[in-house]
Chain A
Amino acid sequence: MSLAWIMALLLLAPLVAASLAFALPAAGRWLALATAAAVSFAVVRLAALVLDGGVQVHRVGGWAAPLGIDLRADGLAVLMLAVAAIIGGVVTLYAPAYLANSLATRGERDRFWPPFLMLWTALDALFLSADIFNLYVTLELLALAAVSLVALAGKRAALEAAMRYLFVSLSASLLYLLGVGLVYGECGTLDLSLLAVRSGPGPAMWVAAALMSGGLLAKAALFPMHFWLPPAHANAPAPVSALLSSLVVKGGFYILLRLWFEGLSGLLTPAAAQLFGVLGAAAILWGSLNALFAPRLKILVAYSTVAQLGYLFLLIPLAAGTTDGFTAWSGGLIFLAAHACAKTAMFLSAGNMLHAVGGDRIRDLDGVTHVLPLSAFTFGLSGMSLVGLPPSGGFAGKWLLLGAAIARGQWWWVATLLGGSLLAAAYVIRVLFHAFTRVAAPARSRPVPPVMEWTALALSVLAAGLGFTARGSATLLRVGAPWPSAGAGRA
């Protein structure tokens, strides 16, 4: 199958499905299933293509950049697409059961699918785009879809969270767009790989880089721009929270990497790189502490996202300005994939507990194992990956980051990594204790549809075993990575 068809499946299948789901509301669920199948198939084919053919470029409309828009698939893009396909597929299976319970009418439930599929479209487009203005459009599509999904819960708290999220997201997009304008004014192109050649230091580019980074940091909810995330992720329906935490926030981070390590790589000074790391460390600390004292399970998980996002940013100081940044690079991105799976599993299992015992106040979770052994197990297993216990994907990521930090003698990052793991352990254990406490009678609970428990479990198992595939992921990430293939491996 030619590249064109793969791209068509990845981008147009979810888009067409979304439009049809809007035109024929009743068909939404089946369209989503079809999309999941098509996209997964395409991702597999693309991965094969990239692994033996190297970076794949598709010139949309046949006009090469700068005139046209290029779609570029390197290892990183494929990894992100794969994660999106996995999470998207699982949510497609999970959502109907969950919505059937949390939303009153058929009509309300059907409204989940168009924005969900649009979200999927936006993610695929975002991961494949090599054009900074096109990236702006995907960002907007992503943001509006995410906001609509948050509002779907309909409760007042959810609506307020959605409103705040919308404001942050739109102003962030405008900051980014302003930066795009400056870049175009300076370099006369929007294509990332051309920018890598043309962009150089200068007032316009500095300011542009600052504006774009500012906007993207807000979208990636990096401390201190995280304030919008916990309410939004905690009040959305569980499957939506999962999507937001595992994929949407990663979109901003992804573009940030594309900019700093490709398009604007000339502008990334060591100081700037360290600054990103410092913010990341602050996020780890702040997020973990809030998670440690969160009153509700979903708030805890949301703050844990704030913390875990901090880890991703550690890869910037560890990978920047060195001949072998690849160790940290692959570490951070493997960590990202693991976090996506683990966090989705966590939100889904939290959703199950919410569904079963009606609330998610943590001190009411006593003896939840009596009611939902599987979901509690799922939570613990995904917790293992967040803490970074081997052989989870979280461990693989942290191991590589740790290796890079030691190799570069940046001991403060070593301390951050280990301290963060301990904090994560603390807030995960905090929940697990309630699961083991003995209670007189098991809590009154509604039965949870098996599909809801098993999908979550499958993901947590994936996250816990992801370490075993880390080498494969690293090989994939090598393709088109910003570092020449020298010094590969050697964590």
Chain B
Amino acid sequence: MPEANLSLYLLAGPILFAIGFYSLLVQRHVLRRIMALNVMGVGVFLLFATLAARADAATDPVPHAMVLTGIVVSVCATGLALALAHRLEAAEEDRADGGEAKR
């Protein structure tokens, strides 16, 4: 792709990453922090995608595949994180009425 666009895309990744990083440290609510992680992730994937697009002719399949893998992994992590958050919430509520964490 044209040089200018490439630079644009190259910048987009780091920007998203930095935004995610900032809110990960600033936000307190679990859901927001999980989202922040995902934003960071998207930033990284965008960088990979840009690297794949450097080639003028055919795209570089290797970063492509890595992004795919990365996305799946982050989906899994998010799923686990959400379940954990859910369970933690239940535990908090339980503690409010003094019971042992129910599942």
Residues of A within 8 A of B (CB): 133, 136-137, 140, 144, 147-148, 151, 154-156, 159-160, 162-163, 166-167, 170-171, 174, 177-178, 181-182, 184-185
Contacts and interface: CB of A to CB of B under 8 A. Distances in A.
14 contacts: A147-B80, A151-B87, A154-B103, A166-B77, A170-B81, A171-B24, A174-B17, A177-B44, A178-B47, A181-B51, A181-B63, A184-B48, A184-B63, A185-B47
In the A-B complex, list the 5 residue pairs whose CB atoms are closest, starting with the nearest.
Answer: A156-B91, A181-B47, A159-B88, A185-B51, A174-B40
A162 B80 CA distance: 11
Interface string B53-74: 0000000001100100110010
Given A151-B87, A171-B40, A185-B51, A156 B69 contact: no
B80 A166 contact: yes
Contacts of B17: 174, 178
A174 B41 contact: yes
Contacts of A151: 84, 87
A144 B73 CA distance: 10
Interface of B: 17, 21, 24, 30, 33, 37, 40-41, 43-44, 47-48, 51, 62-63, 66, 69-70, 73, 76-77, 80-81, 84-85, 87-88, 91-92, 95, 101, 103
A166 B84 contact: yes
A194 to B, nearest CB: 14
B88 A140 contact: no
Nearest to B48: A181
Contacts of A159: 84, 87-88, 91, 101
Contact of A160 (B37, B40, B81, B88): B88
A131 to B, nearest CB: 11
B98 to A, nearest CB: 12
A228 to B, nearest CB: 14
Contacts of B85: 163
Nearest to A147: B80
A171 B37 contact: yes
A155 B92 CA distance: 11
Contacts of A162: 84
Contacts of A147: 80, 84
A178 B69 CA distance: 14
A166 B87 contact: no
Contacts of A181: 44, 47-48, 51, 63
A144 B75 CA distance: 12
B84 A137 contact: no
Contacts of A144: 76-77, 80
A163 B84 CA distance: 7
A151 B85 CA distance: 11
Provide the main secondary structure of the chain B interface. Answer: helix
A147 B87 CA distance: 14
Contacts of A185: 47, 51
Contact of B95 (A156, A166, A174): A156
Contacts of A184: 48, 51, 62-63, 66
Nearest to B95: A156
A185 B69 CA distance: 18
A156 B77 contact: no
Contact of A140 (B30, B47, B48, B77): B77
Contacts of B41: 174
Given A140-B73, A159-B101, A167 B24 contact: yes
Given A159-B101, A174-B44, A178-B44, A167 B37 contact: yes
Contact of A148 (B51, B69, B80): B80
Nearest to B91: A156
Given A163-B30, A163-B88, A171-B37, 18 more contacts: A140-B76, A151-B87, A154-B101, A154-B103, A156-B88, A156-B95, A160-B88, A163-B81, A163-B84, A166-B84, A167-B33, A170-B77, A174-B40, A181-B47, A181-B51, A181-B63, A184-B51, A184-B62
Contact of A137 (B37, B48, B62, B69): B69
Contacts of B21: 171
A465 to B, nearest CB: 40
A68 to B, nearest CB: 11
Contacts of B92: 156
Contacts of A156: 88, 91-92, 95, 101
B38 to A, nearest CB: 10
B72 to A, nearest CB: 10
Contacts of A148: 80
A67 to B, nearest CB: 8
Contacts of B76: 140, 144
Nearest to A153: B101
Given A137-B69, A171-B37, A174-B40, A155 B101 contact: yes
Contacts of B84: 147, 151, 159, 162-163, 166
A126 to B, nearest CB: 15
A264 B27 CA distance: 35
A147 B21 CA distance: 21
A189 to B, nearest CB: 10
Contact of B70 (A154, A167, A171, A177): A177
Contacts of B81: 163, 166-167, 170
